[in-house]
């Protein structure tokens, strides 16, 4: 685990403060698996938690694309995708559909705020 909190952690009010005095953890606030940082939790307004979820949702969609985890023609093997591309072909329309759906923001997480 990183010594510093990610942007989404900080949006949720979670800050990790590196211990740099050379003495290490002294108890209270440290992460059990990270003796080199204190963790502080602050109250945050709901909009910040919503922003954190949106960043994570968009990142997950980008990651899904990079991992090939989207409606690629290979999923329709041995047939063709909805746009007529064979499984061994690339299909720009499949890629467009993936990102259009991602930008539409109609994920399950959006319908269940607070998760
Ligand atoms: Zn396609």
Report how far ligand 1's centroid is from the alpha carbon of 57 (Å). 23
Residue that the structure tokens 């900080």 belong to: 10
What is the CB neighbour count within 10 angstroms for residue 32?
6
**Dist. CA 40–CA 60, nearest whole Å:** 26
Give, as residue ranges, everything with CB less than 5 Å from ion ligand 1.
81, 83, 85, 91, 93-94
Distance between Cα 78 and ligand 1 center (Å): 14
Q: Is the pLDDT of residue 108 over 90?
A: no
Domain ranges (residues) in the chain: 7-41, 46-111
Q: Which residue has the higher pLDDT, 38 or 75?
A: 75
Q: Residue 16 — pLDDT band, cuts 50, 70, 90?
A: confident
Instruction: Compare 54 and 34 and report the one with higher pLDDT.
Output: 54
How far does the centroid of ligand 1 lie from the alpha carbon of residue 72, in Å? 6
- Residue 11 CA to residue 7 CA, distance in Å, equals 6
Question: What is the reported pLDDT for 1?
Answer: 44
Grade residue 109 by pLDDT with cuts at 50, 70 and 90: very low
What is the value of pTM for the model shown? 0.72
């Amino acid at each position: 685990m990183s010594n510093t909190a990610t942007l989404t952690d900080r949006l949720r009010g979670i800050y990790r403060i590196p211990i740099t005095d050379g003495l290490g953890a002294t108890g209270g606030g440290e992460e059990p698996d990270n003796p080199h940082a204190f963790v502080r939790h602050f109250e945050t307004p709901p909009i910040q938690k919503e922003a954190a979820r949106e960043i994570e949702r968009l990142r997950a969609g980008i990651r899904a694309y990079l991992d090939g985890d989207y409606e690629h023609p290979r999923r329709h093997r041995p047939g063709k995708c909805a746009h007529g591309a064979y499984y061994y072909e690339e299909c720009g329309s499949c890629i467009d559909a993936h990102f259009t759906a991602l930008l539409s923001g109609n994920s399950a997480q959006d319908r269940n705020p607070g998760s």
